[in-house]
Amino acid sequence: MFCSQCGQNNKAENKFCSKCGFKLEDSSLQMLSEEMSADEPQVSQTLNSRKKFSNFVVVFVAIVAFAVVVLATWRFAGPKLASAVGEDGATPQVAKHNVGNSMANISNGGYCAISGEWIYCTIAGKLHKMRLDGKEKTKLTDENAMFINVYGDWVYYYDGGYYYEGGDIYRIKTDGTNKQLLVTVNEKGTDWEDLEVCRMLIVIDDIVYYDKGDRLYSMNLDGSGTKGITPKDTGEFYIIDDIIYYRQSLDTTSEIGDNDAELHKVGLDGKGDVKLLNSEQLISLIKEYSIYIFDMQFYKNYFYVPNSSSLFMPDFDCTPILYRIDENVKNVQNSIKPTSEYNEGGVSAFNVANDSIYYMDGSILYNIKLDGKGNRKIGNIGECYRIYVFGDLIIGVYFDYENQADEGIELLSYMIIKDDGTGFVKLN
Query: Per-residue confidence at 166, pLDDT binned at 50, 70, 90?
Result: low
> Looking at the predicted structure, is the pLDDT value of residue 349 above 50?
yes
Q: Residue 172: its pLDDT value, please? A: 97
CA-wise closest residue to 377 among 397, 391, 361, 388: 361
Q: What SS3 state is found at 61?
A: helix
pLDDT, tens digit, 9 for 90 and up, residues 241-288: 788 888 887 776 655 555 677 888 888 888 899 888 777 777 777 666
- CA distances in angstroms from 336 to 350, 370, 374, listed in the order given: 11, 9, 11
Query: Per-residue confidence at 65, pLDDT binned at 50, 70, 90?
Result: low
Residues 6+ apart with CB under 8 A from 217: 209, 210, 211, 226, 227, 228, 229
Q: Residue 421: its pLDDT value, please? A: 95
Q: Assign residue 292 a region: left if phi > 0, alpha if psi is -120 to 50, beta otherwise?
A: beta
Residues 6+ apart with CB under 8 A from 122: 111, 112, 128, 144, 145, 146, 148, 412
Beta strands 386-390 and 376-380, pairing class: unpaired
Average pLDDT of the chain to the nearest whole number: 74
Domains, the chain, ordered by start: 81-426 (2.130.10.10)
pLDDT, tens digit, 9 for 90 and up, residues 7-61: 667 767 676 676 566 666 544 434 434 444 444 445 445 545 555 555 555 555 5
Q: Is 99 exposed, middle or buried (0-12, 13-18, 19+ CB in 10 A)?
A: buried
Query: Per-residue confidence at 80, pLDDT binned at 50, 70, 90?
Result: very low
**Entry pTM:** 0.72
Q: Is 113 exposed, middle or buried (0-12, 13-18, 19+ CB in 10 A)?
A: buried
- The whole-number average pLDDT for the span 111-127 is 93
> Looking at the predicted structure, is the pLDDT value of residue 112 above 80?
yes
pLDDT, tens digit, 9 for 90 and up, residues 195-224: 677 888 999 999 999 988 778 999 999 999
- The whole-number average pLDDT for the span 75-103 is 50
CB 280 within 8 A of CB 250: no
> Looking at the predicted structure, is the pLDDT value of residue 226 above 50?
yes
Q: Residue 69: its pLDDT value, please? A: 42
Share of the chain above pLDDT 70, in %: 61
Q: Residue 77: its pLDDT value, please? A: 38
Q: Residue 153: its pLDDT value, please? A: 96
Q: Residue 360: its pLDDT value, please? A: 86
Query: Per-residue confidence at 1, pLDDT binned at 50, 70, 90?
Result: low
> Looking at the predicted structure, is the pLDDT value of residue 379 above 80?
yes
> Looking at the predicted structure, is the pLDDT value of residue 307 above 90?
no
> Looking at the predicted structure, is the pLDDT value of residue 162 above 80?
no
